[in-house]
Amino acid sequence: MLWASLLSAAPTTGELVVEPVVEPVVAPVVAPVVAPVVEPVVEPVVAPVVEPVVAPVVAPVVEPVVDPVVDPVVPSTDSPATAAAATPAPVADDHGHRWTFAAVPTATFNTDEGFGTGGVISLYHHHEAVRPFRDELRFNIFISSKLVQAHAITWDGIKPFGFDGRLYARLRYFSTVSQNYCGVGNLVDCAGGIARAAATDQGLSDDVSNDDDAFDRFSRRYYLMRFIRPEATLLYRAWLRDKPLRTELLFGWRGSYTIPGDLSQSGPYPGSRYAADFPVGEPGLSSVPIIGLIVDDRDDEVFPTRGFVSEISLRGGNALTGSTWPHAGATAIGAFFFSLSQSPRVVLATRVVGDVIVGDPSTEELARIGGTLDSIAFGGSAIGRGIREHRYLGKLKLINQTELRAQLWDVVALDQDLSFGLALFSDSALIGYDLADYRGNPFRPLVTGGVSFRVLWNKTFAVRTDLATSGDERDGPGFYIIVNQAF
């Protein structure tokens, strides 16, 4: 099955003017009459020549030279209005406001969700040479013919309101009838034979002439969940120092409310694997504060070619935070980038993630990484590409992702900077349910691999088209069109 889921104050001319004037006058005059001539000649000649020459030369030179040096990387895509502004054009470019955009449409189909369509639209605000943008406003929209929905609005602000730091805020509405649940641990199978046997145990029989009879619907949904989940995330990263080695304190909160069922029926699918573990589903509030520390020394955020970014964070929720499920988690992340070639740009990128949860998290919290990552693992479009999303769940996660990235072709079309590239990648992980109850083989690695086509748009927006497969997933390969790099 295929899944769709950017003056020297006086230039040397001042000295040249003074010396030629002084030497020719002083040398011939000083020889015949030393005392009387030197004093009157030097002062009247030097003063009148230096003052009129230096003053006019310095003033016009300083203004145009200093402004371009302040921000040598101002993009050439400034608006025509800004470029045509009168005399102080460099000042207007440095402190003006510029907007760019990017958009990607989506279209999907599967039997449970029906036909789906939507897209991602990002608006970027550029101001005061902040890179890669000053503000991003992103809209995610998706709706299917069976009312499966995934909508989000996100604001990502760098130096918000003039403060040294970064503010990320997201509101999301998600309803699904096809989230995977095969159990927990690293030996879950999701075998179709088990699903068909469960259908038979329910007294259902297969009508071979009908691919959507009750037997087929039960078998297809046996490993699926359905729920409605509004979510909110707020993260503030206060800069303790800027680059190199930008150091940030992370403060945040993420919350969600889970409603089992869909818009027409409540609760999990009757007789499903999930219903066996949670007969009425998992209704309730997840309210999780987050604290952490980040060190970022990458040369670029959208397509890093060298440097690293690391993060450690703690999270947790209980009755005091309003959470239905008492639990706590710790996350450590390190991503490293090595330039192998400048032209074309070839980069070896690797990331290691460790995540540990204690307590009693909900299934959705069990699936997620902490800190700024907030991705599902292991399996899906972010971590574990080639394995169905949400398949391998556990409180213990040790993950590696490695990519060989190459941006091969740059073009400007309709005033938009586009860069096209390819990548080879592999995701691997060790997953266990708990230290006391691993529910699997502690030394069994889960491994995926694939190829990718990448597009960078205006150096701010990345789109990847990934094709991945895994020996640990019979229901594949996985195909994804996703906004943003994997890491």
What CATH code would you report for 98-483?
2.40.160.50
Residue with tokens 């999907």: 108
Residue owning tokens 């939507």? 118
**How far is C-alpha 91 from the geometric centre of its chain's CA atoms?**
31
Q: Are the C-beta atoms of residues 325 and 286 closer than 8 Å to each other?
A: yes
Secondary structure class of 254 (helix, strand, coil): strand
Q: What is the pLDDT of residue 129?
A: 85
Q: Give residue for tokens 């691997």.
A: 428
How far apart are alpha carbons 4 and 381 in whole angstroms?
9
Non-local (6+) Cβ contacts of 52 within 8 A are none
Closest CA to 455 of 78, 129, 103: 103
Listed in sequence order, the residues at least 6 apart from 355 whose beta carbon sits closer than 8 Å to its beta carbon are 329, 330, 331, 332, 369, 370, 377, 396, 397, 399
Where is 67: in which H helix or E strand?
A: helix 34-70
What pairs with residue 295 in β-bridges?
Answer: 247, 310
pLDDT mean by block of 10 residues, the chain; 487 residues: 36 36 37 38 39 39 38 38 37 68 85 85 92 95 91 97 95 96 94 95 92 93 97 98 96 98 94 97 98 97 97 97 98 98 96 98 96 94 95 98 97 93 98 94 96 95 95 90 93
Q: Is the dihedral of CA 186, 189, 190, 195 positive or negative?
A: negative
Contact 177, 203 (CB under 8 A): no
pTM of the model: 0.78
CA 330 remoteness from chain centre = 20
Residue 208 has a pLDDT of 87
Q: Name the E strands within 192-245.
A: 224-241
Domain parsing of the chain, residue ranges = 7-64, 98-483
The answer to whether 116 and 144 are in contact (CB under 8 A) is yes
pLDDT score at 274: 98
pLDDT of residue 95: 62
CA end-to-end span of the chain, whole Å?
A: 25
Residue 436 phi, psi (nearest 5): -80, -20
**Per-residue pLDDT tens over the stretch 355-399:** 999 999 999 999 999 999 999 999 999 999 999 999 999 999 999
Tell me which H or E stretch contains 171.
strand 165-180
| Residue keyed to tokens 């069994």 | 444
Predicted pLDDT at 186: 95
CB of 82 closer than 8 Å to CB of 93:
yes
Plot region of 146 (φ>0 → left; ψ -120 to 50 → alpha; else → beta): alpha
